[in-house]
Amino acid sequence: MPVKTLKDIDVKNKTVLVRVDFNVPMENGEITDDNRIVQALPTLQKLLDDGAKVVCFSHLGRIKTREDKKGKSLDVVARRLGEALNREVVFVPHTRGQALEQAVEALRPGEIMMFENTRFEDADGRKESKNDPELGKYWASLGDIFVNDAFGTAHRAHASNVGIAAHIEESAAGYLLEREIKHIGDAIEHPKRPFVAILGGIKVSDKIGVIRSFLQRADKVLIGGGMSYTFMKAQGFEIGESVVEDDKIDLARTLLAEGEGKLHLPEDFKLTKEFSNDAPIRIAARDDFRRDEMGLDIGPKTLARYGELLSDAKTVVWNGPVGVFEMPNFAQGTEGICKALAALEDATTVIGGGDSAAAAISLGYADQFTHISTGGGASLEFMEGKPLPGIGCLDTL
């Protein structure tokens, strides 16, 4: 059943609790990439324009002890949000208590506030991430309506999503979550064909379910990245010092058998003897690895062949870079995939979050795709066809 969205709720003069995903990268106390804040702006602006009293909240980093809280306050995020919205964002450095309750009570329609990192509740017993019922009920008591716009945590049942939704009268998806549901859901469940999946990244084990899902749903599955070498070793090839999951060799053989005729592996690679951008590079076929070499990117023949396999695609879903794109000399494979997808006409192209999303954005292709997901693990589980608790908890139409 479709969930309620912003168009289905009346927020005027209501206190709206908005779970956002502001788990932004930080360095020396400064935000290094504010994309997640920018992505949330349409939802927050719509609520403010419609006369809601907005209370937004998020996690930042992983917190298991009180010591972990150091440097993880959302105060700097609240300031950046205020700059982006061009209005004051009141920040309350607490996750519960009288100061928080008074700040919520003081809000007027069209005003916004943010309270402290929800994971601070995990410093004393994992109350947020274990969906403590008392905590979810308390947070729900602060508002009238719950809006979930944090796709990045939708695969987790936390107090700040499932817990609140269970104890509040009305709930709905924000614009960002609505887009994720539409674009990933449509691409997986109702793809225009040919439907091609591209899977990269380091580990086969991270994507077993996704690989199997795409072998059933897609017309072609293209493999790249570190997981290539586990498949190659399963085929009996020498892979030198390349990354490999030896305990997944048998699984890789099984997947190769299941994907016969549909699963495509690289045929050449960029090889080097050091994990360094400046190390000498040799391009070699998959049967020409030397024992002291490692593969860090797909080669030009593979890129050309993958381009041909993609040329008539009408739906493409991509998760995981095909090389070490952080090093310019090993980014050509991933950038080549970006170029091939950007050149497709009348095709739906979806990047499933995580490193592939970071690669597309850093390489300058952020506007060349139908949709770039904001979720890593959530995207993977959604692609696999698993129900996501952060979506399932919302009111349906």
pLDDT given for residue 61 in this prediction:
93
CATH superfamily entry for domain 6-175: Phosphoglycerate kinase, N-terminal domain (3.40.50.1260)
> For this structure, is 354 an active site residue?
yes
Element (DSSP H or E) covering residue 194: none
> For this structure, is 36 an active site residue?
yes
CA distances in angstroms from 375 to 56, 92, 180, 354, listed in the order given: 19, 27, 9, 6
Which residue among 51, 61, 377, 392 is the active-site one? 377
Which residue among 79, 137, 203, 253 is the active-site one? 203
User: Is it true that 6-175 and 182-384 share their CATH fold?
Assistant: yes
Which residue among 354, 375, 376, 390 is the active-site one? 354
Where do the structural domains in the chain lie, given as residue ranges? 6-175, 182-384
pLDDT given for residue 284 in this prediction:
97
pLDDT given for residue 362 in this prediction:
85
pLDDT given for residue 126 in this prediction:
87
> For this structure, is 203 an active site residue?
yes
pLDDT given for residue 205 in this prediction:
86
Q: Burial of 41 by CB count in 10 Å (0-12 exposed, 13-18 middle, 19+ buried)? A: middle
Which residue among 4, 36, 217, 286 is the active-site one? 36
Identify the CATH assignment for 182-384 out of 3.50.50.60, 3.40.50.1260, 3.40.50.2300, 3.20.20.70: 3.40.50.1260
pLDDT given for residue 57 in this prediction:
98
pLDDT, one tens digit per residue, over 144-157 is 999 999 999 999 99
Hey, what are 207's tokens?
């994507």
What residues of the chain score a pLDDT lower than 70? 1
> What is the pTM for the complete model shown?
0.89
pLDDT given for residue 359 in this prediction:
86
pLDDT given for residue 374 in this prediction:
85
pLDDT given for residue 53 in this prediction:
98
3-state secondary structure 63-132: CCCHHHHCCCCCHHHHHHHHHHHCCCEEEECCCCCHHHHHHHHHCCCCCEEEECCHHHHHHHCCCCCCCC
